[in-house]
Structure 1
């Protein structure tokens, strides 16, 4: 069976000395390939540069050294919107060094498959949607009939002969965490389960989403339908994580863990029956309109420490314009219920919405002060290809511009669609939003962590400041491009 190298590009949104959610689709794809008998290696540019204190140039050279020594028969690079420039540079330099078949997969590839062959001339194939089944078919040798796989045909892109079906999640093996830098992803910190100083890894118990928000890629990447992994297998995955990696917590990255409330209740009962609630905490993403007080009590008893909600904005007109069907009253109720049972809440809010005014930002600020989520962020609205928002506001950016221009891609995602001037926005961020977020996060950290964890967090902050200073002095923050 072939040797396969999977490359995870660098994500510049993740600051130095911070970890993030485990890249599950890479770990899942690697596990499927190993089950077919392939020899698999994963090179994670983010983990390598952050954990090793490497410059981007040093990380790039380490990747190329692995290509030279491993000599893969197939190279796969994840292609996501905000790091697409890094995918392009990896494809260019890997192909120049080692002329094996090279393919891409991921959200950006799925959104713009035909265009990708023009913008990344080095690729030979592209996997659309979920990668696991197509990869298993690819390595069997019959490329032309592999489902969901686009192939290069001269200067053209040949669509797949058939689309891949949504995967049965019970067929997926345990993610290949042993090929990932779990020392980085499971590092104790407060950036995976917000405000909690914990060691954790990420799992998914379902794929698919019942929502179709105009700005969201996740509801489109997984294909139609909602699919669940059996709870017996989920609990096996949890127990294996605890056994192999000695974790404090698990982060459940389902689009909405409460979409089936009876299933969630049974999950909690199984944790209690196996006494797993005594060994780990857990957190999940949920839709506010699925929250019920009685169920929250059971979740708290079973070890749930926090829940994340996509609130976006308290302005109902803006929610409707983005096809967000959850009324703001549902978020208000959910936050109150979490507070009653002692589950921490994290609210994601957006800024930069089309037609947004300074009054809207002040109203959003007043909303978080009134309804008091445990922690919250205002995140920049990004216009991702493949979404209705891109059709309306993307201005054909990815059709008309090169994908390997790092600055151009960054500038695109920094665009402001609101009616607020950049000067007024920056003043609001500096004087009001960022101080409020920082203050609330400190309060949440103090409440969520015992004294020993707070001491560890303080030590980590001192060490991170020292590492950041060392990187600056040593030129570790340089750009390869």
Structure 2
């Protein structure tokens, strides 16, 4: 039996660096299926036209198709399901993901191309479904737990399935990307999820209903082993840990950081957190372990608006978390929401004042939108603010609760304030000195200091920061990378080449160092060597754009 686990989004979402990625959950399902001896493959059809998508489906001829559905891609998902049926009328199409989970009845009632919906966590349910089909071919799915399906004209929701207790027991999905369709391997592997569930109850978020309110965690040992495997096999040195609240378990975070430091993995990373779930000691150890940025869901500086959003935080907690984040030298990034019903100019001014107080380095602003599975949407339907069939009737990617002039004005004012604040409140030499005194040596501080010195044209001080890394940690590729880039920019090709070669001694699969060496060889006229480095980069990262452009220049 041929199984295809697919995703497709179109329009603005296909151009977005995050929503265009393959959902991590699909890869986890694929890894479990393969471990159990099944023939499964991943496909991200987002980069392709519908014509090309049809051709790829015809080549695959899947018997079972699982498609990940979010609100932004719900109609693209339905079209993909229809195409799969057209290519192979006997194939079974099952949806999963947050939108499908929370709109399962509506999907089954209105769209015949959908045969079933996996509800919530998908690995064990999809595995049982695949075994059922492979063993018997029976299309009656009502005996499978954690599923919504049809029995004749009746829609059946089977008993829920207990959540997976031990996330470490799930197999690594890394190898599943190697033969995946339409996947940018380097970008895909950067994003890691280490837990499931969220302790919060924000009214605009569907995560608690999807995963449940109890948190489940991968162990620090398992996370570090995965990062090492990706680093050694694919050369990645920077990761984004995309848990809803990475710092929810303080002991786990400290153990994770201890392992990174003791085992000298020398990676850099960022994460998301809640302002009520951090403290200075934890953030300090995160910085020592290579964390350079924390993103907080701040949303508003108005206590009234925070209560209306169900945030269960206060502006004072935001100020405290921001202060310790900046003190240890982590970049402070915030998410803000505007366009909340009842939000006034007074609330906006409170948020603008908060931005001034906490001094974020960057941030994002989004108008408030409602999604299935949120209390915001349920309350909106109950109050008559919208009809219950909104997501099936209206084709917009997102549904904002307000569209009056205040929303555009507040969004622009918040963005402008974030931009001005970021420019004024970058870390300066006195800040870096204080961070070193507080934490001792950590390569993240030196890198951030060196980048700041480069930005203001002080190359001597930048080099001094980078040289301290390689002196203290000669096995740390970040110091050599920074030196190579610095010397390359100054035209010192010989020293730059030495630095990048050292990077490759430490991390042989690091494609950017190969690209850099190709560029340096091309600049000094060594065409055969340049071509060799470009081709090595492409062997590590197929389609690498700078390597392709370099090869093109060599032929002219």
Question: Given the two structures, how large is their TM-score scaled by the length of structure 1?
Answer: 0.81
Per the alignment, do residues 423 and 217 of structure 1 end up closer, same or farther by CA in structure 2, a change over 3 Å counting? same
Deviation at 1:145, TM superposition (A): 2.6
Unaligned runs of at least 5 residues, structure 2: 134-140, 429-447, 455-484, 490-511, 513-518, 520-544, 550-556
- What SS does the corresponding residue of 1:214 show, helix, strand or coil? coil
Q: Give the conservation status (yes or no) of the 8 Å contact 1:22–1:202.
A: no
The separation in 1 between residues aligned to 2:225 and 2:280, in whole angstroms, is 28
Worse-superposed segment, 170-179 or 267-276: 170-179
CA distance in 1, matches of 2:341, 2:29: 37
Answering whether residue 171 of structure 2 is matched by residue 173 of structure 1, we say yes
Q: Distance in 2 between matches of 1:67 and 1:298?
A: 47
Change (3 A) 1:31 1:78: same
Task: Kindly indicate whether structure 1 or structure 2 has the higher relative contact order, using CA contacts under 8 Å at least 6 residues apart.
Answer: 1
Output one character per residue of 1:179-218: Cα deviation in whole Å (capped at 9) or x when no partner: 557973634xxxxxxxxxxx96111221111112111111
Which residue number corresponds to residue 474 of structure 1? none
Per-residue deviation, residues 14-58 of structure 1 (Å, max 9, x unmatched): 473745666211111111121122222222133x24xxxxxxxx2
Counterparts in 2 of 1:373 and 1:11: CA distance versus 1, 3 Å: farther
Runs of 4+ in 1 over 6 A off after TM superposition: 441-447, 453-456
In the comparison of the two structures, how many residue pairs are matched?
427
Structure with greater proportional helix content: 2
Change (3 A) 1:118 1:22: closer
Instruction: Please give the per-residue CA displacement for 1:407-442, whole angstroms capped at 9, x wherever unaligned.
Output: x3327x24333xxx7334334444x33334455567
For 1:409, the equivalent position in structure 2 comes to 395
1:61: how far off? 1.7
8 Å contact from structure 1 (residues 257, 286) kept in 2: yes
- Structure 1 stretch 331-340 or stretch 241-250: which is displaced more? 241-250
1:120 corresponds, among 101, 107, 111, to 111
What is residue 135 of structure 1 aligned with on the other side? 126
Contact between 1:91 and 1:120, CA under 8 Å: does it hold in 2?
Answer: no
1:396 CA displacement: 8.0
Does the 8 Å contact 1:22/1:201 carry over to 2? no
In structure 1, the residue matched to 2:326 is 339
Q: Which residue of the partner structure matches residue 110 of structure 1?
A: 101
Residues 396, 35 of structure 1: alpha-carbon distance in 2 compared, 3 angstrom cutoff = farther
Matches within 5 A, 1:224-243: 224-243=213-232
1:371 maps to 2:371 = no
Question: 2:325–2:332: 8 Å Cα contact kept in structure 1?
Answer: yes
Aligned: 1:324 with 2:321: no
Larger Rg: 2
- The offset of 1:296, in angstroms, is 1.3
> TM-score, normalized by length of structure 2?
0.71
Deviation at 1:154, TM superposition (A): 2.6
Q: Deviation per CA, 1:222-261, whole angstroms, max 9, x where unpaired?
A: 1342111122211111111112221121111122111111
- For residues 189 and 421 of structure 2, the distance between their equivalents in structure 1, rounded to whole angstroms, comes to 23
Match of 2:137 in 1: none
| Aligned partner (choices 132, 136, 152) of residue 150 of structure 2 | 152
Give the distance between the partners of 1:216 and 1:257, measured in 2 at CA.
16
Match of 2:199? 210
- Partners in 2 of 1:32 and 1:274 — Cα distance? 29
Alignment partner of 2:316: what SS?
A: helix
Deviation at 1:76, TM superposition (A): 1.2
For 1:365 and 1:200, locate their aligned partners in 2 and report how far apart those are by CA, in whole Å.
36
1:381 paired residue among 349, 364, 368: 368
> Where do 1:11-26 residues align within 5 Å?
12-14=11-13, 16=15, 18=17, 23-26=23-26
Matched, 1:306 2:306: no
Post-superposition shift, 1:109? Answer: 1.3
**Partner of 2:239 in structure 1?**
250
C-alpha distance in 2 between matches for 1:441 and 1:253: 23
State the 1:341 CA deviation. Answer: 0.7
Does the 8 Å contact 1:8/1:44 carry over to 2? yes
Matched with 1:423 is 405
Aligned position for 1:33: 33
**In the alignment, which residue of structure 1 is the partner of 2:495?**
none
Q: Partners of 1:201 and 1:229 in 2: how far apart?
A: 17
